[in-house]
Amino acid sequence: MRVIAFLNNKGGVGKTTCSRTMAEYLSKVKKRPTLAIDFDPQCNFSHQYLKMEIDPAAPEGLMPPIHPDYDPQDPDHYDWDGRSSISEIFYGQGVVPYPTYIEKLDLAPGHAEKLLAAESVRKSEVVEKVHKQLANFLASPDVKAAYDTVVIDTAPSKGPLTVSVIKAATHIIIPSVMEEQPVQGIYGMLQLWMQESLSREKNRPLTLVGILPNMFKQTRLHKDILTSLQENTAIGKYMMPVKLSQRIVFAEIDSEDANPHSIFDFQENHVAKQEAMEVCEFISERIFTNE
Amino acid sequence: MSKKKRFGVSEALSRGLSETINVVENNAGIYRNVVLPLSRIELDPDNPRKLAITLADVQQGLNKSDPLYQRKSEEFERLTELAMTIKSSGIINPIVVYKLGEAYRVVAGERRCLASILAGKQEIEARVFNEKPQGFALKLVQWIENTAREDLTLDERINNIRDILRAYQNQHGDISVTPTLLKNIIGLSLPQATYYVAVLNAQPDVQQMIENGKIRSLDKAAIICGIESPELRHQAISACITGCSLKELRKMIAHAKQNSKKHLMVDQAVKRGRAASRVNMGFTLKPRVIQVIVESVVDRAEYKKYADLFMKVDWSHIDQTTRMFKKLIEILEYESEIAYD
Ligand SMILES: Nc1ncnc2c1ncn2[C@@H]1O[C@H](COP(=O)(O)OP(=O)(O)O)[C@@H](O)[C@H]1O
Ligand SMILES: [Mg+2]
Q: What is the mean pLDDT of residues A34-58?
A: 95
Q: Whole-angstrom Cα distance, residue A153 to residue A39? A: 6
The per-residue pLDDT for A116 is 93
Mean pLDDT of A234-254: 94
- Give residue B337's pLDDT band: very low, low, confident or very high (50, 70, 90): low
Q: Is the beta carbon of A13 within 6 A of some atom in ligand 1?
A: yes
| Axis crossing angle, helix B11-27 with helix B135-147, rounded to the nearest 10 | 140
Which residues share a beta bridge with B106?
Answer: B97
pLDDT in tens, A55-79: 988 888 999 999 999 999 998 888 8
Of A254, A256, A290, A287, nearest in space to A30 by CA: A287
Total structural domains within chain A: 1
pLDDT band of residue B52 (cuts 50, 70, 90) is confident
| Distance, CA of A142 to CA of A136 (rounded, Å) | 12
Residue A214 Cα: closest atom of ligand 1: 1
Cα of A46 to ligand 1 centre, how many Å?
A: 15
A229 lines ligand 1 (CB under 6 A): no
As a whole number of Å, the end-to-end CA separation of chain A is 11
Kindly report the CA angle at B228 between B225 and B233, in degrees rounded to 5? 65
Name the class of domain B32-129: alpha beta
Atom 8 in ligand 1: residue holding the nearest Cα? A14
Calculate the average pLDDT of chain B. 80
Residue B336, pLDDT above cutoff 80? no
Between A20-34, A194-208, B18-32, B127-141, the lowest mean confidence (pLDDT) is in: B127-141
> Which pLDDT value is given to residue A259?
86
For the ranges A7-16, A66-75, B240-249, the lowest mean pLDDT is seen at B240-249
For residue B133, what pLDDT is reported?
66
| Residue of higher predicted confidence among B28 and A166 | A166
Which CATH number does the domain housing residue A268 bear?
3.40.50.300
Ligand nearest to the CA of A9: 1
* Range name among A33-37, A152-156, A237-241, A258-262 with the lowest pLDDT average: A258-262
For A262-280, the pLDDT digits (tens) are 999 999 999 999 999 999 9
pLDDT in the model for residue B293: 92
Q: What is the model's pLDDT at position B307?
A: 83
Q: What is the pLDDT of residue B272?
A: 46
The percentage of residues in chain A with a pLDDT greater than 70, rounded to a whole number, is: 100
- Has residue B143 got a pLDDT over 80? no
For residues A175 and A192, is the Cβ–Cβ distance under 8 A?
Answer: no
pLDDT (tens digit per residue) in B265-294: 444 444 444 556 677 777 787 888 899 999
Mutation site for B-interface testing, chosen from A120, A122, A124, A130 by largest number of B Cβ within 10 Å: A124
Kindly indicate whether the ipTM for this predicted assembly is greater than 0.90, answering yes or no.
no
Closest CB from B13, B28, B311 relative to A184: B13
Q: How far A183 CA lies from chain B's nearest CA (Å)?
A: 8
pLDDT, position B156: 82
Residues that place a CB less than 5 A from ion ligand 2? A 15-16, 44
Please give the number of the atom of ligand 1 that sits closest to the Cα of A11.
Answer: 23
- The whole-number pLDDT of residue A151 equals 98
At residue B2, does pLDDT exceed 90? no
Q: Closest Cα to atom 15, ligand 1: which residue?
A: A14
Mention every residue, 6+ apart, whose C-beta is less than 8 A from residue B142: B47, B48, B107, B108, B160, B163
Q: Is A219 on the interface with B (CB under 8 A)?
A: no
The chain B residues in contact with chain A (CB within 8 A) are: 5-10, 13-14, 16-24, 27-33, 88-93, 125, 127, 144, 148, 189, 311
Inter-residue contact B48 to B159 (CB < 8 Å): yes
**The predicted structure's pLDDT at residue B320:** 83
Cross-sheet strand order for the sheet of A149-154: A98-99, A105-108, A34-39, A149-154, A2-6, A171-176, A207-213
Q: How many Å apart are CA B134 and CA A230, to the nearest integer? A: 35
Query: How many Cα atoms sit within 13 Å of A5 on the Cβ side?
Result: 29
Phi, psi of B33 (to 5 degrees): -90, 130
Residue A234 belongs to what domain range? Answer: 2-287
Per-residue pLDDT, B230 = 86
Query: Is B304 within 8 Å of B274 (Cβ atoms)?
Result: no
B341 has pLDDT over 50 = no
pLDDT of the residue at B264:
47
Q: With the C-alpha atoms ordered A189, A192, A198, A202, is the resulting torsion angle positive or negative?
A: negative
Kindly report the average pLDDT of chain A as a whole number. 93
Q: Which ligand is nearest to the CA of A254?
A: 1
Q: How far is the CA of A194 from the centre of ligand 2 (A)?
A: 23
- What is the per-residue pLDDT across A137-172, written as a single tens digit (0 to 9) for each? 999 999 999 999 999 999 999 889 999 999 999 999
**Does the structure show a pLDDT above 60 at A92?**
yes
Specify the pTM. 0.68
- Check residues B237 and B261 and name the one with the higher pLDDT: B237
What is the average per-residue pLDDT within A88-103?
93
Write out pLDDT tens, residues B153-172.
788 888 888 887 887 777 77
pLDDT score, position B267: 42
Average of pLDDT values for B182-196? 78
> Which residue spans within A12-148 are E strands per DSSP?
34-39, 53-55, 58-63, 98-99, 105-108
Question: Above 70 in pLDDT, residue B136?
Answer: no
